[in-house]
Amino acid sequence: MMTSKDLIATIRTVPDYPIPGILFYDVTTLFKNPKALRAIVDMTYELYKDKGITKVVGIESRGFVLGSALAVKLGAGFVLARKPGKLPAEVVSESYDKEYGKDTVEIHKDAVSEDDVVLVHDDLLATGGTVGAVNRLVRQFNPKRIYDNFIIELPALRGRQHIPEGTPVTALLQLEGE
């Protein structure tokens, strides 16, 4: 079994991406390593296996990788949270500020129901703008419960402040970062 230290060692850091001053944590190096990928899927599954999750909402695009694997393992459906214009049917959308600009996220209007227990997943919790917007979208459907999960959290950037109060949040790895 890989430890948190082992997993952190597999993450590539890219300075000044996508703009100068940002240190980008690239989880694709976790995904290409079979042992690391299995470890993060298994670790996340253990956190949520008894929560009654019926839908996993993966945030574009790295949230699709672990999110879809986790949905399969949990026996849940998978919902894509995407940038504008990428989904073919009627959508609901939410705009937000992120650390280097403005953006919008969308999900299909029929993606979630009041009977669902939803796990929102993304690779990284930094400033929290994206996941805050996705939470606002999912809340429009009045699901029974919402949980948020990340592979990496950068606590110094205080992203949890954008997640609605009372939403349980987990991150597999805590990293220093700005």
**What are the residue numbers of the active site?**
62, 99
Beta-ladder partners of 95: 104
> Rounded distance, CA 16 to CA 142, Å?
39
